Amino acid sequence: MQPNLFEITEDSMTDPIINDCINPTCPFSGEPVEAGSLMQYRGHTVGFCNPDCRDKFAANPDGYKDAKALFDERIDDLET
């Protein structure tokens, strides 16, 4: 028996990837989104310019109405 060296695993549900990110720029700073600063929001991948921005939004999405509105608008566009 030989191990299958070329087995391809479709494991895209692990970490969010920047290609799936729905916003090109950080809602707080307007700087480009960074690959290490992504999170899931309403089932979509959203991004920030650095992990601090992500963590503050993740901790309290309702506290950042402008950022939330930007994501909600894009997600509503995608889902309609």
Closest CA to 33 of 76, 80, 74, 78: 74
**Smallest gap, in angstroms, from Cβ of residue 17 to Zn ion?**
18
Who's near 70: CB < 8 A, 6+ residues apart? 23, 27
User: Cβ(51)–Cβ(41) under 8 Å?
Assistant: no
Contact pick of 16, 21, 22, 28 for Zn ion (by CB under 5 A):
28
From residue 37 to residue 66, the character string flagging contacts with Zn ion as x (rule: CB under 5 A) and all else as - is -----------xx---x-------------
Contacts with Zn ion, residue ranges (CB under 5 A): 26, 28-29, 48-49, 53
